[in-house]
Amino acid sequence: MMTLFKSGRLFLLVLFGAVLGSGCEQAAQPKAQAKAPRFEVAEASIADVQGALKRGDCNCEQLVRAYQARIAAYDQPTKLNAIVVTNPAALAAAKELDAEYRRTGKLRPLHCIPLIVKDNYNTAGLQTAAGSLALKGFAPATDATVVRALKAAGAIVLAKSNMAEWAFSPMVTISSLAGETRNPYNLAHVPAGSSGGTAAAVAASFGTAGLGTDTGNSIRGPSSHNALVGFRPTLGLVSRAGIVPLYLRNDTGGPMARSVADATRLLEVMAGPDPADPLTAYSAGKVPAGGYQQFLIKDGLKGARIGVLRTLSERNPDLQVKAVFEQAVADLRRAGAVVVDVEIPDFAQVSKGQWASVFKHDVNAYLAAQGPGVPVKNIDEVLASGKYAAYIKENLQDELAHGVSPAASTAGRGEAYTDPRRIAFRRAVTAVMDRYKVGALVYPTWNNPPAKVGDFQGYRGDNSQLIAPHTGQPAFTVPMGFTYDHLPAGLQFLGRSFDEPTLIKYAYAYEQATHHRRAPVRFPALPAAGVGK
């Protein structure tokens, strides 16, 4: 790895001047200019970026070029392989935002925030393929609803990230389109799936923040494996329109970021009703006046009651993950929380039979809505084309053979707010929270460290699949420390439906009390990489 890393640094010394141009600080600049403020993009938050813009430390174009330089220097040279395609229009968007700021003197809420967007979000004019060679080259005419909202807030789609093909795998991020993504903390290990490309890219500071989707694990698992904050919001809070589905009944988009504050700022823009997604009608009146940032309260755990869900935390945990989790529980107490152990009565029974294979129905409906330009019209054509990674062949065949059409009248197939089985599960969880008067339940996001690349038997300890996808409740993961070989672990907070404010308050307070997030050492700041005038 050292030879590869050194070659990457040498490569960059040449690359940086060519890519960044005269707008960024270089050794050849006059001395007076060399002393100008520099802004480092590695680990930079949204507040850091916008502060730099306001101070004049850099402009948006320079910022985008700096992130592009990191992608060029690190993604392929290290074999991280997180990025599928970079956005050729990103610089033009940055220049427009620079011109707007010069003209108005005002920044939009996410002005010039470069985002890494998972490959299953429709992005107008930019390839959206869900990791599938069968969709290679397909560029939708319009953005997914949340992408459109983020752009309107000033964000820039910097790149599309690799994903587990069709979002099938919670363990690995492998696609026929781009191959396998690795974990930036230890390249011999997986980043989890299916949003592993976004997770690895954001962890390595290829963008300021990113977007994932979560059917069962796919925001929280990769965030946990990459020392990130990942929000799975309440089902219906964030529009699913324009996102390639896995099981639409469970799917939601959400933010993935290096801090609770950044994830909160993205959620604030993404949340709310959308006529294109009927499920979001349930969020009407549920987004708090004044937004979500008001709940970023440093002492938000003082007096809070937290329930430790031993039913999940004791599922054959790895000893190092268990130790880190017990320290997290102690840290919650130290930050002022009252922590109690809780159990969900008859958990095995109330959680039973919650999954339904609606992939075929949902993906075929998505493809039909994309118009004549889509390369394949249905999943039968995908299977017939042979354009898929070998490890998902059984998934495709099984979904085609046993896939069902969702129906609210059939228990186990309907939406979270109409399906009797899902309603009963949610009530059982909420009843326990009410009985113990707790604002959230906590447990390790994974009970085991990330598996090694190629070890398909190493998939153990995923707790994210078991409650939130079926009940529709919000669940957030926050870094809780590191285990073997620099591998991260995550603490998950599960809340009541549409009670994102409480989860934000708790997660932020825990983050501020512990500060577990740290950058992967293999992806440091680039030589002479500060951007500035």
Nearest to 526 by CA among 205, 207, 188, 111: 205
Nearest to 133 by CA among 373, 383, 366: 383
Residue 34's SS3 state is: helix
Q: Which residues pair with 116 in a beta bridge?
A: 159, 210
- How far CA 233 is from CA of 18, 253, 431, 452, in Å, comes to 41, 8, 20, 29
Q: Could you give the CA distance from residue 334 to residue 493 in angstroms, rounded to a whole number?
A: 17
* Location of structure tokens 């825990």: 510
Q: DSSP string spanning 177-200?
A: TTEE--BTTBTTB---SSSHHHHH
Q: Which two tokens stand for residue 187?
A: 């390249």
Which amino acid makes up residue 421? R
Which residues have C-beta within 8 Å of that of residue 480, sequence separation ≥ 6? 324, 325, 327, 328, 444, 489, 490, 491, 514, 516
Q: Could you give the CA distance from residue 266 to residue 260 in angstroms, rounded to a whole number?
A: 10
Q: Could you give the CA distance from residue 517 to residue 510 in angstroms, rounded to a whole number?
A: 12
CA angle 440, 445, 447 (to 5 degrees): 125
CB 217 within 8 A of CB 117: no
CB 450 within 8 A of CB 487: yes
Residue 84's SS3 state is: strand
Q: Could you give the CA distance from residue 410 to residue 399 in angstroms, rounded to a whole number?
A: 18
Q: DSSP string spanning 358-397?
A: -HHHHHHHHHHTT-TT-S-SSHHHHHHHT-S-GGGHHHHH
Nearest to 162 by CA among 116, 207, 223, 206: 116
Cα radius of gyration rounded to whole Å, the chain: 22
Residue 397 phi, psi (nearest 5)? -65, -40
Residue 39's SS3 state is: strand
Q: Which residues are catalytic?
A: 118, 194, 218
Q: Could you give the CA distance from residue 135 to residue 130 in angstroms, rounded to a whole number?
A: 8
Helix (H) or strand (E) run with residue 432 in it = helix 420-436
Q: Could you give the CA distance from residue 291 to residue 270 in angstroms, rounded to a whole number?
A: 11
